């Protein structure tokens, strides 16, 4: 479903992604793990047409995202690290808007909105403004929205950041369920190793822009002689803390949080 070969992304002198290669198979849940600043989000941006690679090859469902932008965009759904809902609209209106943007015919749009909102337990609240939703509800709505246009691939960039264990648990149960019922390939990143361990069939670990290991959770543990994925991850990426410089995106995030009253 996704094929990446020798992918490189440079920002000036800095190499964010340094010649990585991996495959994601049809229908699987694939976890992409790494410490802060390892290159996860940059890679996702290249897979989802938001950034052009410096060199290397990407195929998403057989298409090059840098060339066939709109075709590729039609094929994936994405849940970003930061929320991307319109808080001044209701849950249903957010779904509606998404459906129109993705050319989903009206009838199918209505049907799928109902099914998905029910799956994610938001149907009863569909007429409420999203700004009044809790963090967990917003996340669920975003994921429901990501599924609306029946994508072949769903990208989840740290979807459970800031959620309580109950919400996280429920969210992954629902994602797994849709992965099976709709055959969607899921590409996720997370900092919670237990989640990756639980839902992902295969895992790639990226650090300093390079893939340092890939395989099933079991294989990674065996390879590092550890008993948990967390230990395996630390063995692969070291224990030093990665302090990133705050980018303007981080500053905005902080400010947005301030404005929202830190509800997330």
Partner 1 sequence: MSVIYILWLRELKRYFRSRAQIVASLGQPLLYLLALGFGLGPVFRKAGNGSYLQFVAPGVIGMTVLFSSVFSGIGLLWDRQFGFLKETLVAPVPRNRIMLGKALGGATVAVLQGLLVVVACLLVGFRPGSFAAIPSTLLFMALIATVFASLGIAIGSKLENMQGFQLIMNFLVMPIFFLSGALFPLTNLPKAMVLVTGADPMSYGIDGLRGALIGISHFGAPTDILVLCGFGFALVAVGSYFFSKIQL
Binding stretches for partner 1 (CB under 8 A): 45, 48-51, 69-71, 73-74, 78, 80, 82-89, 93, 96-98, 100-103, 129, 248-249, 251-252, 255-256, 259-260
3-state secondary structure of 150: coil
Nearer of residues 28 and 71 to partner 1, judged by Cβ? 71
Find the shortest distance in angstroms from Cβ 89 to partner 1. 7
| Spatial distance between the Cα atoms of 89 and 97, rounded to a whole number of angstroms | 10
User: Which tokens hold the place of 97?
Assistant: 């808007």
Nearer of residues 89 and 110 to partner 1, judged by Cβ? 89
Find the shortest distance in angstroms from Cβ 8 to partner 1. 18
For residues 55 and 83, the answer to whether their CB atoms sit within 8 Å is no
| Spatial distance between the Cα atoms of 117 and 143, rounded to a whole number of angstroms | 10
Terminal alpha carbon distance of the chain: 33
Find the shortest distance in angstroms from Cβ 60 to partner 1. 13
Length of the chain: 264
Find the shortest distance in angstroms from Cβ 212 to partner 1. 27
Nearer of residues 103 and 227 to partner 1, judged by Cβ? 103
Nearer of residues 110 and 234 to partner 1, judged by Cβ? 110
Residue 238, C-beta contacts closer than 8 angstroms, at least 6 positions apart: 207
């Amino acid at each position: 479903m996704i094929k990446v070969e020798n992918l490189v992304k440079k920002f000036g002198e800095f190499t964010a992604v340094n010649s990585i290669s991996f495959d994601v198979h049809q229908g699987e849940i694939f976890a992409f793990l790494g410490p802060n600043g390892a290159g996860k989000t940059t890679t996702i941006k290249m897979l989802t047409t938001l950034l052009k690679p410096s060199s290397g090859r990407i195929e998403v469902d057989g298409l090059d995202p840098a060339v066939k932008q709109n075709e590729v965009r039609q094929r994936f759904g994405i849940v970003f690290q930061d929320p991307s809902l319109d808080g001044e609209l209701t849950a249903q209106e957010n779904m509606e808007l998404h459906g129109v943007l993705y050319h989903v015919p009206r009838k199918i749009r209505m049907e799928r909105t109902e099914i998905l909102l029910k799956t994610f337990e938001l149907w009863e609240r569909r007429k409420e403004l999203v700004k009044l939703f809790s963090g967990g509800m917003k996340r669920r709505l975003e994921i429901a929205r990501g599924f609306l246009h029946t994508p072949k691939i769903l990208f989840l960039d740290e979807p459970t950041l800031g959620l309580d264990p109950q919400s996280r648990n429920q969210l992954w149960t629902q994602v797994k369920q849709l992965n099976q019922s709709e055959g969607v390939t899921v590409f996720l990143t997370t900092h919670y190793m237990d989640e990756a361990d639980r839902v992902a069939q295969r895992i790639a670990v990226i650090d300093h822009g390079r893939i340092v290991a890939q395989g099933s959770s079991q294989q990674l543990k065996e390879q590092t002689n550890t008993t948990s994925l967390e230990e395996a991850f630390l063995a692969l990426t070291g224990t030093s803390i990665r302090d990133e410089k705050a980018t303007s995106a981080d500053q905005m995030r902080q400010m947005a949080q301030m404005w929202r009253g830190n509800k997330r």
